[in-house]
Structure 1
Amino acid sequence: MRTKTLNNAKFIIEVESNKNTKEIKTVSIFDNRSQEYLTDEYINERNIKHFLDINDLKETLNWNLNGDSSKYQFKWGQSGKNISEGLAYVFE
């Protein structure tokens, strides 16, 4: 998918996955509409901090952020010895 299309995302979510525990957690959520990061309080209230797996990540983010799951995108980025980083894109 082209970067221009990904820039049209409603939210851009940075996540980390621990290779040992397999836990996926939210690092940050950027609201592309207001150009601001969502607070940790908001993330915790919406229950979008921890995920069981990639499918849970997709379903939970789209449900709790009112996204269109058919347009959802996810890309793994950097990977270290114990942590992998990824970006999820939620669209309207």
Structure 2
Amino acid sequence: MVGADITGRLAAYMVKARDFNLPPEVVREAKHRILDTLAAMVSGAHLKAGEMAIRYVREQGGIPEATVVTTDIKTSAVNAALANG
């Protein structure tokens, strides 16, 4: 199966990549993207669509696997991904 081969090769590469040193500009840009994503999640939680998603997820409940940002909700990973945007 071609898909499994590609996935296996990617997984093997990522295991090796843990030991690579990234250039400082790559680290800086990665940190910037992470902070940007978190800021979007926090600000989006206070918009109408975000509030609706949070309300929906709260009503759904779910296994407490993941956190919905800006709330006390612990829910399934799928529901948290929905609410977190």
TM-score (norm. length: structure 2): 0.26
TM-score (norm. length: structure 1): 0.25
Larger Rg: 2
Identify which of structures 1 and 2 has the higher relative contact order when contacts are C-alpha pairs closer than 8 Å and 6+ apart.
1
Higher strand content, 1 or 2: 1
Higher helix content, 1 or 2: 2
